[in-house]
Structures are given as C-alpha cells and as structure tokens.
Structure 1
Amino acid sequence: MHATGETERGRPGANVVLAMLLLVYTFNFLDRQILGILAQPIKADLGLTDAQFGAVGGLAFALLYSVLGVPLAMLADRTSRSAVIAGSLAVWSGFTALCGVATGYWQLFLFRLGVGVGEAGGVAPSYALIADYFPPEKRARALAIYSLGVPVGLAGGTLLGAYIAALVDWRTAFIVMGVAGIILAPIFKSVVRDVPKAPAATAAAPVGQTFGILARKPAFWLMAVAAGCSSLCGYGLALWTPSVLMRSFGFDLITTGQFMGSILLVGGTAGVFAGGWFADRLGKTDRGWYAKLPTIAWAITVPTFAFGLLSPSPALAWPLLLIPNAMNILWLGPVTTAVQHLVPRHMRATASGSFLLINNLIGLGVGPLLMGTLSDMLKSTYGIESLRYAAVGCLAFYALAAVLMTFAIRPLRRDWVEDVA
C-alpha cells in the first residue's frame, strides 16, 4: 500500500501520486494569489473599494468553498478520491478563466464564488490519498511536500500574474491560468489511482458519525480554530501585501511580483518542509510535537511580521518578512497530519473536510474582508498607509492561534488514533 515505486494493478507509486497532487495544489494557490497581485489594476478597472475587493478575495471564495468541502469529502470517501480532485480542478479552473471577462463587482464576486465551489473538492481528498499512500512515519513529510503547493503557488501566481498583466492585461492573466488548469485535469485523472479500500471500510462512514467522533475530541476544536486564526492573517496578508508594497514603497507591478514571489518561494518552502520534517522526527516519541511546532512558529511570526510590515525601506523589509513567511506556514504538515489521526482511515477525507470547514470559514471568510474594511476605516487617519496598519493590527490573530495550539498539546496525545494494519 505504501510503496514508492510502481505498484500492483497499474497504480502509480506514492512519489508519482504526491508529485501530481503537488502540481494540482500549486494550481489551487496560483488561482488564489493571482487576485492579490492584480488588486490595483482590477480595482481601478472595476471601481472597487478596499472592502469590496476584500469581499471578492475572501468572502466570495469562502462561502461555498467552506460549506461544500464536507459533502465533497464524503463523496470522495464513498467513490473515488482521484476523480473528485480531477473534477474539482476542471471546475475551479473554468471559473478562474471566467474571472478574466468580469465587467463589474457582482459578476467578479459570482465567478470567485464558482472558483470556491471547485476548490472545495481538492484538498481534503488529497490529504486522504497521501495518508493512504504513505506510512505514518513518513506522513507529515509527505503532507509537507504536498503543502509546498501553497508557497510555490503563491509565488507563481504573484510572478506570473504580474508579468502577464504588465505585458498584456489583468484579464489575460486569469484566462491563461484557467485554461492551463483545465488541460491538467484529464492528465491528472489518467495518472492517479485510488488505493483499494479494505473490506471493512468499503463504505465511508456518514458525516454525522465522523463529526461525532471529532466533536468529542478537544484537540480537533483547538487545532481547527487555531489554524483558522492563522489563516485569517495568512489569507488576508496574501491578498493585501502586494498592495501594501505598492502604496508604501511605490513599487510597480513587476517589482512587487519579484519582491513578493521571492519571499513566498524561499520562506514558504523552507517553512513548510521544516514543519513536516521536524514533526515526523520529534513526533515519533511525543505526538504533542505536532501541536508544539506550530505554537513556536506562530509566536515568532507576530513580531517579525510587524517589524517587516513597518520597515522604512524595501532592503530592510525583505529579510524581516522572509522569517514570518516561513513561520506562518510551518503548521501545515504537522496539523494536517494530526487531523488524519483523530479518526480511522476510512473517515480521513471527511475529517479533513470538517477541519477545513472551520479553518476556511474563519480564515478565508473573515481575513481578507476584515483587512480591507479596516483599511477603509483608517484611511482618514493614515491615508495611503492605512492598509499597512490594518495588516499589522490583524497580526493579533497569530498570537491567539499560538495560545489555542498550546492548549491542544496535551489532548492531542490522548486523542491520537494510531494506524491499524
């Protein structure tokens, strides 16, 4: 089941599956981050306020993305995880392309709603597939490698979006990204195969049964809300930091793309991989490390992000922002692995969907909109610097995430479900 080469019955090896899942996840965040780098031309073209753009970047995406994650995860548990992922990729890529033809606020809002519908079916089944293909002692590293799609996609979306928009226009950037994802969907489906379910787990458990198990475990609630608080800041900063750089440092589109892309790629990849590696290494003897590592990382994130965002010069801001862009994403490998071990194997995708529901309702639903709304409120006092101070104010949620995750350490040791052969 956990071989890394070519497996029986024509199924690809674990490393091939992981590479394909990483590619799809990269497209997931390419399509999300492209909106952030294109904020200024989109707002100018469609006449949007910061609050309206925050709603498009967060609330529009989160509404159905969060809610549909659980039923699509159940569908993946009951049918084919790889088929659900491929179909989701085709749907979100199609709506991404449609964003390029939007002519107003509500049209763009509805198209982003559609992107969220598609992406709802991508992540939870991917977590479950990785847990199927990799043994427990390698699982956090595998999930961390998969999670590299976040920084790689964020960096790629920033750079590609900036260059395409600068050379052509912002609409073309959306269309190019969307069409590329549509082409990838059938290729993914032809390569990736599900691991056959054990006879006792051929039928996925009802969502009520799965959520009933999770609801009785304090570790689940503490980790989900802590991750949500982190995502509130993370998604808000991903959407708005390009605009902060343009307003505060006078960057053009290309310079902003290069600055952000380099930070996200270098810092993000280092942080994600470090989280998975240390969790696998330290978690062998103490499962509490799957919660301890994010706690430490978020405690470092708050001051370093604040100093970076308030830096007077780009030369000082770059190294200061590099540190928190590694630390704020370190949690992905440890926490997503821990969620997989709160339930039996045949409930994993549904458990991940339940976790993502809470995480994304808080993170995506609140973060970008809150930051944009605060910026509008602070404009009379701080002018063009209002967005910078709105971003700094929201860093308090990283501190809250660290506190909540600290309380998750002890219950996680008790709630952990070991793999059964």
Structure 2
Amino acid sequence: MNASSPAADAAAPPGYRPVYAYYVTFVLLFAYTLSFIDRQILGLLVQPIKRDLGLSDSAFSIVHGFAFAVFYTFIGVLLGRVADRRNRRNLILLGIVVWITATAAGAYVTSFLTLFLARVFVGVGEAALSPAAYSMLADYFPPQRRARAMSIYTSGVYIGSAMAFIVGGMVIAATSRSTEVVLPLLGSFRPWQAAFIFVALPGLAAIALMYTVREPLRREISVAERAAPRDLSHLRSNLRVYASLFLANGVTAMITFGITAWLPATFIRQWGWTPGQIGPAYGVIILTFGIGGMLVSGFLADRFISRGRIDAALKIALVGTLVLIGTSLLFAFAPGPRTALVAVALSTFFLGMPVALAPSILQAITPNQLRGQVTSIYLLLVNLIGLGLGPFLVAIGTDYVLGDEAKVGLSLGSVCALSAVLGAVCLLSAARPYRALLQRQWQAQA
C-alpha cells in the first residue's frame, strides 16, 4: 500500500499525549515483569519445599505447572470478557492485589493442598493483566505507534524471566544464611518461606503506580460496532485469519518453552557445564538479544506502518520465524558450546520478533469491544500448545526417538526448527486475508 493509505494518514487519537502514553506503557511493563518473577520464583525453591512439605517430584510439578497454567489460561478467557466491558485499570489493580497476596501466602503454606491453592490464585490474579493491558495500549496509541509500545510491554516476558533467576537467587542466597528469618509483625519463617514475601513486596509499588494510570477512552468504534452485540461473531466471520494467527503463536511458543525447559540440560549433558555457568550466560542473552529483537521489531513495524505498509508487523514476524528455522538447525548440530551459544543468541533475537508483534497484529484487526477476549484466547493457546507440547516433544525426541539423553540438544533444535516451519506456514496462510481485513477495518474507521 502506498503512502496515502489510511495507516499513513491516521491521526493520533484525540487527546493523545505521547509522554503519558509511554509512562503508562512502562507502568504496565513493571507490573508484567513482577508477574513473571512471582510466577517463576517457585522453580528456585524446589528442594526446600519438597523437603519441608514432603512432596514428590510429580506432586511438585502439579503445583508448579498445572495449578498455575490451567487457571491462568481458562480464567483469563473470562477476565478478557470483563476487560471488554468494564474499567480495565481497575481490573488490573484487582489482579495485582490477588496475585501478590497469593504469592505472599506461599510463606504460610503447610501442605500440598495449601500450596496448590496459593498457586491457583497467583494464576487467577495474573490472568487479569495482559488482556486489559493490551486493550488499554491499543487505545492509548494510534495504530502507527502501537507495535513499539506493545513490544516494550511484551519484553516483560524476557525481563521477568531473567530477573526471576537473578533477583530470586539473590533473595534465596541472602535468606539461606540462617535457619530462620524473622519479619516484624509477620512472624518467623524458613528461608524459602521468606522468599515468597520478599518477591511479593514490589507488588505494592505496582499498585501505587497503577493508581496514577487513567482508564483510556475506547477508540476506533464505528457506529455499527457500537450497536452490534459484543460477541465473537467477528472471529467466526474471519475464522481463517484468526485460526492461522492463533496457531502460529501457539507453535512459536513451543520454541520459547522448549528452550526454557531444556537449554540448561543441553549444556550440562553435552558439554559438562554447570548450572552456575549456563544460567547467567542465558540470562545475559535474554536481556540483550531477546529484548533487542522485541524492540527492533516494534520500531520497524511502526516505521513501515507509518509509511503505509499496514501489514508490516505480520511480514516482520514472518521473516523472524523463517530465520528461526536456520538458527534452530544450527543449534541442533552445533559441534561445541560456543557455536551453540551463538545459535541461542540468534534464535532468541529473532524469536523476539513474532513474540513481540503477535499482540499488535491481533489488536489491529480486532474491534475494540473484543480485544480483551481475543488476547485471552491468544494467551490460552500459547500456554496450552506452547507449554503443553514444547517441552514434552523435546523429551519424547530424547527418550524414544534418539534414545540418548545426551542428545537433548539435537532433539531441542529439531523441535524448534519444526515449530518454526509450522509457524511460518500459518503466517503465510494468514497474510492475504489479514491484509484484506486490515483494509476493511481502516475503511470502516475512516
């Protein structure tokens, strides 16, 4: 599309204040980062919790994965509907209160059941955040500025993941020097119990900051849309493009969760690294290449959209996914750890592109009244497909196809390459109907 397209000519929304809009973006980023720290801190406390609560590996895995993920994804669909009808700022505030309270409650658990319930409410609280946040950002920014803002917010995935290990490790190290930690007014705790309280405390700052955020006016709603019922008929009418985009995001997430689950094991088993070596190395890669890929993709998408290429975000996501095929194969057949780290760095950079742009791609074709629900469906499939299949398929490849746990790197790289191929096919399938739907959206709003 040429420079006279609606995307190029779209005016900033009435009352658009860039400085304040980016302030809101960073407040939401802060909350998103904390949510990842709170949800992942449990992974650093495996041994002391198992010892003190008498849990088996399988019982702990249920608490760590199932208790959080199932309620996070399915409650998220309901809360996405709430985000489309009610005050989104207040919904996020309520969610933060619930999840930091549930995180702190981890300090008081005494059994499998109480820990399970605490993790359920962490998932319920965090499920309120992203559907409302993406919907708010879509109203705070004009279309040609959204990709950048949403990529900043989405970078909380990488920042939170890295900080969970860095900050969580520091907290545990600081509290593990004694057998008991005494906190004024709260009581005495074992070190792992105190860790839950310490990581929950920054949530109070997130609550205070969210009170400075105003609920934005819902924009880009035509007269016909205002009169239409707020159901999912729009998705059914455009099933091909939405199904392709949802599936693309789900299989791409298999790469994210597969790497997270099995990258340390690859370096430990194949090249004799210690957790203390691969942990910081991967953390640095996440904070540099991962966030870099997200921010670069958001900047490029906004730049091209402002020049009239309204489907630029999808094309950039497609390019990143195609490159992932090559970087994944490079990792699969890496002859040594240095080559493998280069492959991981490149994969992390280009993986950041489809991950960062997915929300803005979906928001661009979704009516305002459905954005929260579409985001929640997107998160549901990302977690069910990505988290459910990614790590599992790598394990199947190692145990039953290759029959050698030392070849986990080959299995991981192969699963990532196959996932990238499927993701690229899905994005290609969505490309033409996506562009057509975008054009109709712009014409309806003109």
Please give the range of the TM-score, normalised by the shorter of the 2 chains: 0.7 to 0.9
What is the distance in 2 between the residues matched to 1:373 and 1:95?
34
- Counterpart in 1 of 2:288? 266
Amino acid at match of 2:25: L
Instruction: Decide whether the 8 Å contact of 1:295 with 1:402 is kept in 2.
Output: yes
| 1:420 and 2:427 are equivalent in the alignment | no
The answer as to 2:381 corresponding to 1:352 is no
CA contact (8 A) 1:58 1:364 kept: no
389, 394, 412: which one aligns with 2:415: 394
Once the two structures are superposed, the pairs formed by residues 296-335 of structure 1 within 5 Å of their partners are: 296-308=319-331, 311=334, 313-335=336-358
1:140 aligns with 2:161: no
How far 1:195 sits from its partner (Å)?
1.4
| Conserved? CA contact 1:159–1:257, under 8 Å | no
Write the letter of the residue equivalent to 1:304: T
State which of 199, 214, 227 in structure 2 corresponds to 1:193. 214
Residues 266 and 39 of structure 1: is their aligned pair in 2 closer, same or farther, counting only changes over 3 Å? farther
Tell me how far 1:70 sits from its aligned partner. 2.3
**Structure 1 residues 271 and 170: alpha-carbon distance in aligned structure 2, compared to 1, 3 A threshold:** farther
Question: Under a length normalisation based on structure 1, what TM-score does the superposition of the two structures give?
Answer: 0.84
Which position in structure 1 is the counterpart of 2:11?
Answer: none
Q: CA deviation at 1:100?
A: 5.7
Contact 1:58/1:365, CA 8 A, preserved across alignment: no
Return the offset for 1:359. 2.7
Quick check: 1:210–1:343 contact (8 Å CA) kept in 2?
no
2:312 alignment partner in structure 1: 289
Q: Which residue matches 2:7?
A: none
| Further displaced range: 297-306 or 307-316 | 307-316
Distance in 2, Cα, partners of 1:206 & 1:165: 54
Pair 1:82–1:196, CA change in 2 (3 A): same
Supply the distance in 2 between the matched residues of 1:250 and 1:52 (Cα, whole angstroms): 29
Corresponding residue for 1:3?
Answer: 17
Change beyond 3 A, Cα 1:368–1:163? farther
Code of the aligned partner of 2:143: P
Q: Report which of the two structures shows the higher radius of gyration computed on alpha carbons.
A: 2
Alignment of 1:109-148 (within 5 A): 109-148=116-155
Residue 275 of structure 1 corresponds to: 297
CA deviation profile, 1:101-146 (whole Å, cap 9, x unmatched): 6667666554433322121111011001111111111111111111
Count, aligned residues: 409
Q: What is the RMSD of the two structures over their aligned residues, measured on CA atoms?
A: 3.4
3-state SS of 2:84 partner: helix
| Pair 109,237 (structure 1): closer, same or farther in 2 beyond 3 Å | farther
Moved more, 387-396 or 352-361: 387-396
* Alpha-carbon offset, residue 172 of structure 1: 4.6
Q: In the alignment, is the contact (CA less than 8 A) between 1:128 and 1:349 conserved in 2?
A: yes
Segment drifting more, 337-346 vs 78-87: 337-346
How far has the Cα of 1:83 moved from its partner?
1.1
Choose which of 211, 217, 222 in structure 1 pairs with 2:232. Answer: 211
Amino acid in the other structure paired with 1:277: F
Please state if 1:233 is matched with 2:255: yes
CA separation of 1:177 and 1:314: change in aligned 2, threshold 3 A: farther
State whether structure 2 residue 170 is matched by structure 1 residue 163: yes
The CA deviation at 1:65 is: 1.4
Deviation at 1:38, TM superposition (A): 5.7
Following superposition, the deviation at residue 241 of structure 1 comes to 2.7
Instruction: Classify 1:303/1:111 alpha carbon distance in 2 versus 1 (closer, same or farther; 3 Å).
Output: farther
Unpaired runs of at least 5, structure 2:
1-14, 177-190
Cα offset, 1:220, TM superposition: 1.2
Q: Deviations over 1:349-384 (max 9, x none)?
A: 223223323333222343345545666x4599324x
- More displaced stretch, 95-104 vs 271-280: 95-104
Partner in structure 2 of residue 26 of structure 1: 33
Distance in structure 1 (CA, Å) of the matches to 2:340 and 2:400? 22
Q: Which residue number corresponds to residue 86 of structure 2?
A: 79
Asked if 2 retains the 8 angstrom alpha-carbon contact of 1:166 and 1:254, the reply is: no
Superposed CA offset, 1:392-413 (max 9, x none): 3431222211111111111100
- 1:273 deviates by 0.8
Q: Does 1:255 align with 2:277?
A: yes
Higher deviation after alignment, 313-322 or 205-214: 205-214
More off after superposition, 237-246 vs 36-45: 36-45
Aligned to 1:60: 67
Residue among 319, 323, 342 paired with 2:365: 342
Q: 1:276 to 1:373 in 2, by over 3 A?
A: same
**Partner of residue 103 from structure 2, selected from 70, 83, 96:** 96
- Cα distance in 2 between the residues matched to 1:115 and 1:372: 28
How far residue 79 of structure 1 moved from its aligned partner, in angstroms, is: 1.9
**Inter-CA distance 38–93: structure 2 relative to 1 (3 Å threshold):** same
Q: In structure 1, give the amino acid aligned to 2:314.
A: A
